[in-house]
Amino acid sequence: MESGTENGKRLLAEELERRFSRRGALRARLRRAVQVLLWLGVVQTTALGKRAVDIAGAILLGVLSLPLMAPLWLWSNARGLGLDRRPRLGRWAVPYREWQLLLPDSRLGRLAAVLHLNAVPALWNVLRGDMSLVGPRSVAPGEVSMAEHLVRRRHNVRPGLVCLWWIRRRANIAYGTEAEADAEYVDTRTVKGDLAIVLRALPAMLYGEGIASASDEVTILGMRINNLTMEETLDRLMEWVDGDTPGQLCFLNADCMNIAFHNARYREIINAAALTVADGLGLKLAGKILRRDIRQNVNGTDMFPRLCAALDGRGGSVFLLGAKPGVADAVAGWIRERHPALRIAGTRNGYFTAEEEPGVVRQIAESGAQLLLVAFGAPRQDLWLAENMPRLGVRAAMGVGGLFDFYSGRVPRAPLWMREIGMEWVFRFIQEPRRMWRRYLVGNVVFLWRVLAQRLRGG
């Protein structure tokens, strides 16, 4: 039996609880309402902010470019070309007409096209609200299906004069699809981010494009390079993994080129490797100078996560050899966390004696690994692989330089924006100026000088 006072206390407690929970619910509802209002406000101010930046930017750029554009327009008119309006799809796939200046196919015309002066009249579209300064690329009607519009999430943003995909393609690091870059932009865009894209567009403009005219193999300073994209390279590697013929892949950057210039054995190995791919901005610039366009910057660090994903999909296995003690194990941890189906066949640091070497080779052969990554730095890793390949029993192997140091978290990698302007080497230089000054400050100049000399010789 409950006593009267206890009963009263219980009722009071229940009543208080009810009141508090009612008040709590009310408060929660109020809080949610405020949140929604704030959110709407933020979205609005971002949209308004972006529109204000677009209008101010379009007016400023329009005025600044007038002294250049007016004579260019007169010149184009005199050749019977002038202004043109091409049909495009804008926000919500609404059609609009985008202004452009038609340029004659002459030296001056091509130079103006490189500087994108033909696109300047589209500033009028920005003012009208058809376009933004930054946004996904504008597309022609019929170029992109409705489904694609949805995948790209471009339905509620205006197309831009400058886009993320455009920058990445020029910096040779557009590894994904344009739809992915569009969706990434739409999901993460901010006014500040837009400004950063505009700044990155300036150097990107000078890198040029020219993927269409690229041949499958190019020779630079006597080195044969397979001119492949990241995807194509991965496909070839998976062919080795699935097939009977093993292969060695060499990454070739400006520094490797300089080493190879004095090292005949290294040169031989690169030219004999099943695949040699162009790594970094130096090679891209060399390709430009020699009119042999490099399709993409195929470097180990960007390839690694894609390689793991491809191997993971087919239950593959990998051996990690190289770097300081513990580093390869940390990379194995990185792989296990993200690709549990990818078997780590083994790890071994890169500091062993000549006497220990046969043991290392045996360890790899017995591990049954399909893929072997060797991080000793160039050229040692490539020479070591070429020499030991027949005894290693792996299907695919490559020297990956400082890759383990990055993925173990030992050394931070340059942020994406720096890689997008082809300046990863500046980051590495700042990290280790004493070790890197010779490689980058002297090496890059020497390399480009040699390339220029080849061009002047007509090579």
Residues forming contacts to ligand UDP in the complex (CB under 6 A) are 322-324, 350-351, 375-378, 401-402, 404-405
Residue placing its CB nearer to ligand UDP in the complex, 234 or 374: 374
Give the separation between CA 378 and CA 400, rounded to whole angstroms: 8
β-pairing verdict for 160-162 and 317-322: unpaired
Nearer to ligand UDP, 109 or 402 (CB): 402
Shortest distance (Å) from residue 118 CB to ligand UDP: 40
Nearer to ligand UDP (CB atom), residue 229 or residue 301 = 301
Query: DSSP string covering 37-94, please?
Result: HHHHHHHHHHHHHHHHHHHHHHHHHHHHHHHHHHHHHHHHHHTT--EEEEEEE-GGG-
CA distance 53 to 275: 47
**For tokens 């008119």, what's the residue?**
77
**How far apart, in whole angstroms, are the C-alpha atoms of residue 407 and residue 402?**
9
For residue 240 the two structure tokens come to 């080795």
| Cα 74 to Cα 80: distance, rounded to the nearest angstrom | 10
How many other C-beta atoms are found inside a 10 Å radius of the C-beta of residue 238? 18
For residue 404, the minimal CB distance to ligand UDP (Å) is: 5
Cβ of residue 219: shortest distance to ligand UDP, in angstroms?
A: 22
Minimum gap (Å) between residue 349 Cβ and ligand UDP: 6
Cβ neighbours of 425 (radius 10 Å)? 23
> Which of 101, 230 has the CB closer to ligand UDP?
230
DSSP E strand boundaries for 168-299: 217-220, 223-226, 247-252, 275-278
Are 344 and 336 in contact by the 8 Å Cβ rule? The answer is: yes
Please identify, using beta-carbon distances, which residue of 122 and 374 lies nearer to ligand UDP.
374
Q: Nearest to residue 211, comparing CAs of 187, 192, 231?
A: 231
Residue 4 amino acid letter:
G
Query: Of 289, 337, 241, 339, nearest to 447 (Cα)?
Result: 289
Can you read off the two tokens belonging to residue 282?
A: 């130096």
Residue nearest to ligand UDP (CB): 350
Least distance to ligand UDP, CB of residue 307, Å: 16
Nearer to ligand UDP, 164 or 254 (CB): 254
Alpha carbons 405 and 330: distance in angstroms, whole number: 9
The Cα 119–Cα 99 span in angstroms is 7
Closest approach of ligand UDP to the CB of residue 227, in Å:
21
Q: Which is nearer to ligand UDP, 405 or 420 (CB)?
A: 405
Q: Which is nearer to ligand UDP, 304 or 376 (CB)?
A: 376
Which residue number, 314 or 435, has a Cβ lying nearer to ligand UDP?
435
Please identify, using beta-carbon distances, which residue of 132 and 258 lies nearer to ligand UDP: 258
Number of residues that make up the chain? 459
In whole angstroms, the minimum distance from the beta carbon of 368 to ligand UDP comes to 23
Q: Are 122 and 135 in contact (CB under 8 A)?
A: no
CA distance 427 to 418: 8
| Identity of the residue, 118 or 408, whose beta carbon is nearer to ligand UDP in the bound complex | 408
Q: Give least dist CB 380 to ligand UDP, A.
A: 7
Smallest separation (angstroms) from ligand UDP to the CB of 170? 24
Locate 153 and state its tokens.
């999430």
Task: Report, in Å, the least distance between residue 145 CB and ligand UDP.
Answer: 42
Contacts of 28 (CB under 8 A, 6+ apart): none
Is residue 457 classed exposed, middle or buried when 0-12, 13-18 and 19+ CB atoms within 10 A define those classes? exposed
Choose between 346 and 401: whose C-beta lies nearer to ligand UDP: 401
* Nearest distance in Å: CB 421, ligand UDP: 20
Beta bridge partners of residue 160, listed in sequence order:
132, 137
User: What is the nearest approach in angstroms of ligand UDP to the Cβ of residue 376?
Assistant: 4
